Structure 1
Amino acid sequence: MSSDYVESRVASQRRIAFRDDTPMVGPPGTTATDFKMPRLRRCPFTLDSMIWEARVDGGIDGYVWKVSFGAKGPFALKVFWDAEPVDFPTYYAPQRECQNAALLQMIQTAGEQEAAASRAVLVNAKPTTWDDAVANLAAFSDEARLAQPARADHASVMPPRFHQVSTIPRMKRCYGWLTIPGHVLRELDWSLRPPPVQVDMIKRHLAFDREYIAIVYEFVEEGESDPDTVQKALDFFWLAGFSRTFSPLSKNWKSGVLVDLSDIIPPRGYGWKADLYEKGPGSPCT
């Protein structure tokens, strides 16, 4: 693989915006443009009010802490190892998770709006191609939903190949992105500082002289994941256009909720996998 290709691929990836400086207040926009270029809004909480409560765990993409903001919490704070896209073709974890968090928030909003109007979102019931995936994701947009028939007419006008999405599986709530200066990590008590993490042959760490991207999520308590609940979520992600990764992990699910959003890939995201998508939603990993 030539160095010119690597530089071109990294440069192209960097040009895709995935963060929005607008504070996350109120529901997100759900236009077709929003779905084509998902950008996660900034967390409205201030770094000065953050209380680091405990380390949770780390993986290939980042390290997670249990935190609170003043009297609000607890939350999960995920800080990503890579401050910049790496210099070889692979996904950029902050980009993938910001895009996924933004898309899932938009999908949730669209689902709530349709439910309030006693309507459902119509998607291809058996998507297999990238075009199918893009179309199914776009079905949650304002424009697509306005063009759909009223729910009372669905039975008479809906082609058999379509599926009515009337409920959205439980999703981990996201509160937006923020940045964590390295000196903040250096000033933590030793019991809270991020340890190096080794995944297979890759060793990860956070340096104190860099600034890192982080995402604030709801803190999902440990709990067993019912296989049927997980399967319904996997089915939904597939219907919404997301592909699986080659190595999904069971530990990325807690209490039936996907807690690591890098485990799914949006159709316009780097690394979306046509061969896996064609095979369907898959089953709960063991």
Structure 2
Amino acid sequence: MMAIAIKEATEGITPPILDHPYPETKDVAQRNLFSFSLEGRQAGLSSWTDAGLHFEPMSVTSMPRMRECFGWAKVNGNSILGGWPRHVFPLPVKIEKVKREFEFDIEYSAIVYEWIDGKGNDPATVEDVDAFLWCAGFSFQGGSHEQNWKGSVLIDLGDIVFAHGYGWDKNAFRARTAAEILLEQGR
């Protein structure tokens, strides 16, 4: 969705995406995220000045490479588990008195993402991705780990939380260095 908004804005189909270049608060993070919506692009700087915020805006004209989502697929439990030996099945998990497990006769919804090869990460590219996500209003949840990045693409999107989301953390809302982002697990 963000890529489409940027494409429309850069092709002149809609007004530009105007963000605060150094967001520091949740309010500014939410406004930066809102600026990607059609309503936010149409409001332009008036949405910022109406809130009493005055700054030199940054026009968002590109975004770094992100993992592409192809949509939803329906899969049957048998297609996931059928043919596998029982000892490799995922173990049931109990969450708040509810037992969760894969069953053969149930249809599941799956989100289908592109496959990213396990190439190494370029620190400068990883920092560009982080800077884009920070300016767009996302914070990181906990720490990110090197294993969550492949070929300088964030693989585990559970690492980020949008500005209106549960778990958005003002203390984790900042630009970070590649060394901070690519922490090795267990350190």
Scaled to the shorter chain, the TM-score interval is 0.7 to 0.9
For the pair 1:276 / 2:176, whether they are aligned, the reply is: no
TM-score (norm 1): 0.51
Task: Report the 3-state secondary structure (helix = DSSP H, G, I; strand = E; otherwise coil) of the residue aligned with 1:213.
Answer: strand
Q: Counterparts of 2:182 and 2:16 in 1: how far apart (Å)?
A: 29
Structure 1 position 130, deviation (Å): 1.5
Count of residue pairs the alignment pairs up: 162
Give the aligned partner of residue 127 of structure 1. 23
- Runs of 4+ aligned residues of structure 1 deviating over 6 Å after TM superposition are none
Cα shift readout 1:94-138 (whole Å, capped 9, x = no counterpart): xxxxxxxxxxxx111001111222974210111122111110000
Aligned counterparts of 2:107 and 2:176: Cα–Cα separation in 1: 37
Aligned equivalent of 2:64: 169
Partner of 2:11: 116
The residue aligned with 2:38 is 142
Deviation (angstroms), 1:172: 1.1
Give the partner amino acid of 2:74.
T
Q: Distance in 1 between matches of 2:6 and 2:88?
A: 38
RMSD: 2.6
Equivalent-residue separation in structure 1 for 2:143 and 2:104 (angstroms): 31
Taking the aligned partners of 2:146 and 2:103, their CA distance within structure 1 comes to 29
Distance in 1 separating the partners of 2:104 and 2:160? 30
- Aligned-partner SS, 1:146: helix
Letter in 1 for 2:58: H
Q: How does 1:15-94 map to 2 (within 5 A)?
A: none
TM-score (norm 2): 0.75
Q: 1:148, CA displacement in angstroms? A: 2.9
How far the C-alpha of 1:139 sits from its partner, in A, is: 0.4
The alpha carbon displacement at 1:237 in A equals 0.4
Residue 244 of structure 1 contacts residue 281 of structure 1 at CA under 8 Å; is this kept in 2? no
Aligned residues of 2:138 and 2:160 also touching (Cα < 8 A)? yes
Cα 1:115–1:248 shift into 2, 3 Å: same
**Letter paired with 1:285:** L
**Structure 1: where are the runs of 5+ without partners?**
1-105, 150-158, 198-203
1:161 shift after superposition = 4.1
Residues 120, 224 of structure 1: alpha-carbon distance in 2 compared, 3 angstrom cutoff: farther
CA contact (8 A) 1:194 1:205 kept: no
The change in CA–CA distance for 1:220 and 1:213 in structure 2 (over 3 A counts) is same
CA distance in 2, matches of 1:183, 1:226: 40
> In 1, distance between residues paired with 2:143 and 2:108?
25
Larger strand proportion, structure 1 or 2? 1
> Aligned pair 1:212/2:100, yes or no?
no
